[in-house]
Amino acid sequence: MKILGIGLVAAAAFAGVANAADLPTKKAVEAPAPKPNCWASFWTWLNSSADDCPIGAYGITLYGTLDVGYGYQDWGARLDPSPDKLNYGLAKSGHEHIWQPVYNGLSTSVLGLKMKEDLAPVGLPGWALVGVLEAGINPYSGMFSNGPRSLADQNFNSANGISTITIGKTKYTAYNTWQSTNFDSSRAGQWDNSQGYIGVSSNTWGTLTFGRTNSLSFDTLSKYDPLSSNAFSQVGFSNSFPGFGNTELVRINSALTYKVSIPNVYTFSAIRLAGQAQIGGYGMGNGATSAYYGQLGFDWGNFSFDGVVAYAQNAVSLSSYGGSFTACGPNNSQISQSYGFIPGSGCYAANQILKATLSNNWGAQLTASYKWDRFRFYGGYIYANLANPSADYAGGFETIASGIFVPAGAVTSTAYPLSNGTLAAPSYAFNRVLQTIWTGFRYSVPDEWLRGWGSLDLAAGFYYQWQNNFNFTWKTGAIHGVPYGYATAAACTGQGAFISSSKCSGALDAISFLADWKPFKRVDIYAGVMIQNIYGGLANGYFNSQIFFNPVNKTIVTAQHAFTQNYDPTIGIRVRF
Which CATH number covers residue 332? Answer: 2.40.160.10
* 365, 380 Cβ separation under 8 angstroms: yes
Nearest CA to 232 out of 139, 106, 109 is that of 106
pLDDT tier at 172, thresholds 50, 70, 90 = low
Of 3-7, 181-185, 532-536, 538-542, the one with minimum mean pLDDT is: 3-7
What beta strand segments (E) does 125-185 contain? 127-136, 163-167, 170-174
* Alpha carbon distances (Å) from 312 to 173, 386, 412: 40, 10, 17
Kindly state whether residues 71 and 14 are assigned to the same domain. Answer: no
On the question of pLDDT at 14 being above 60, the answer is: no
Nearest CA to 561 out of 542, 536, 539, 535 is that of 542
Percentage of the chain modeled with pLDDT above 90: 70
Nearest CA to 232 out of 576, 575, 473, 570 is that of 570
Rounded to whole angstroms, the Cα distance separating 541 from 510 reads: 19
Rounded to whole angstroms, the Cα distance separating 69 from 573 reads: 6
* 293, 363 Cβ separation under 8 angstroms: no
Kindly state whether residues 2 and 108 are assigned to the same domain. Answer: no
pLDDT tier at 168, thresholds 50, 70, 90 = low
Q: Which residues pair with 358 in a beta bridge?
A: 316
Kindly state whether residues 368 and 408 are assigned to the same domain. Answer: yes
Phi, psi values for residue 69, rounded to 5°: -175, -160
* Alpha carbon distances (Å) from 62 to 139, 140, 181, 195: 18, 21, 30, 14
Kindly state whether residues 500 and 555 are assigned to the same domain. Answer: yes
Kindly state whether residues 13 and 92 are assigned to the same domain. Answer: no
In a domain, 483, yes or no: yes
In a domain, 451, yes or no: yes
In this prediction, residue 2 carries a pLDDT of: 36
Rounded to whole angstroms, the Cα distance separating 272 from 206 reads: 10
- As for how many domains the chain has, the answer is 2
In this prediction, residue 557 carries a pLDDT of: 72
In this prediction, residue 9 carries a pLDDT of: 33
What pairing do the DSSP bridges indicate for beta strands 335-336 and 348-349?
parallel
In this prediction, residue 334 carries a pLDDT of: 53
Kindly state whether residues 183 and 296 are assigned to the same domain. Answer: yes
In this prediction, residue 335 carries a pLDDT of: 56
Alpha-carbon dihedral 386, 392, 395, 399, rounded to 10 degrees: -30
In this prediction, residue 346 carries a pLDDT of: 55
pLDDT tier at 143, thresholds 50, 70, 90 = very high
Kindly state whether residues 266 and 346 are assigned to the same domain. Answer: yes
Among 21-35, 249-263, 547-561, top mean pLDDT goes to: 249-263
In a domain, 288, yes or no: yes
In a domain, 399, yes or no: yes
Kindly state whether residues 6 and 149 are assigned to the same domain. Answer: no
On the question of pLDDT at 350 being above 90, the answer is: no
pLDDT tier at 29, thresholds 50, 70, 90 = low
On the question of pLDDT at 7 being above 50, the answer is: no
* Alpha carbon distances (Å) from 389 to 386, 411, 477: 9, 11, 22
Four-residue CA torsion sign, 122, 52, 445, 102: positive
In a domain, 216, yes or no: yes
Kindly state whether residues 382 and 261 are assigned to the same domain. Answer: yes
The per-residue pLDDT for range 491-524, each reduced to its tens digit, is 999 999 999 999 999 999 999 999 999 999 999 9
In a domain, 84, yes or no: yes
The per-residue pLDDT for range 316-340, each reduced to its tens digit, is 999 998 876 655 544 344 555 444 4
Q: Which residues pair with 512 in a beta bridge?
A: 461, 530
At 63, the amino acid letter reads Y
Nearest CA to 357 out of 397, 325, 301 is that of 397
In this prediction, residue 73 carries a pLDDT of: 95
In a domain, 43, yes or no: no
On the question of pLDDT at 101 being above 90, the answer is: yes
Concatenate the DSSP letters of all residues of 76-132 into one string.
E----SSSSS---S--TT--EEEEEEEE-SSS--EEEEEEEEE-GGGT-TTEEEEEE
In this prediction, residue 178 carries a pLDDT of: 80
More confident residue, 270 or 546: 270
Kindly state whether residues 284 and 417 are assigned to the same domain. Answer: yes
In a domain, 454, yes or no: yes
| pTM of the full structure | 0.88
Rounded to whole angstroms, the Cα distance separating 501 from 577 reads: 47
Rounded to whole angstroms, the Cα distance separating 571 from 527 reads: 4
Rounded to whole angstroms, the Cα distance separating 511 from 332 reads: 48
Q: Which range of residues forms the domain containing residue 18?
A: 1-33
Q: Which residues pair with 518 in a beta bridge?
A: 455
Rounded to whole angstroms, the Cα distance separating 50 from 62 reads: 10
Mean pLDDT of 208-219: 98
Q: What is the overall mean pLDDT for the chain?
A: 87
The per-residue pLDDT for range 526-556, each reduced to its tens digit, is 999 999 999 999 999 898 877 666 677 767 6
3-class DSSP state of 17: helix
Kindly state whether residues 260 and 361 are assigned to the same domain. Answer: yes
At 500, the amino acid letter reads S
Phi, psi values for residue 131, rounded to 5°: -175, 160
The per-residue pLDDT for range 364-422, each reduced to its tens digit, is 999 999 999 999 999 999 999 999 999 999 999 999 999 999 988 889 999 999 888 89
On the question of pLDDT at 342 being above 60, the answer is: no
* 354, 410 Cβ separation under 8 angstroms: yes
* Beta carbons within 8 Å of 108's beta carbon, 6+ residues apart: 65, 67, 84, 85, 136, 145, 194, 230
In this prediction, residue 349 carries a pLDDT of: 76
Rounded to whole angstroms, the Cα distance separating 289 from 360 reads: 10
* Alpha carbon distances (Å) from 21 to 13, 17, 30, 413: 13, 6, 22, 87
Kindly state whether residues 22 and 76 are assigned to the same domain. Answer: no
On the question of pLDDT at 20 being above 50, the answer is: no
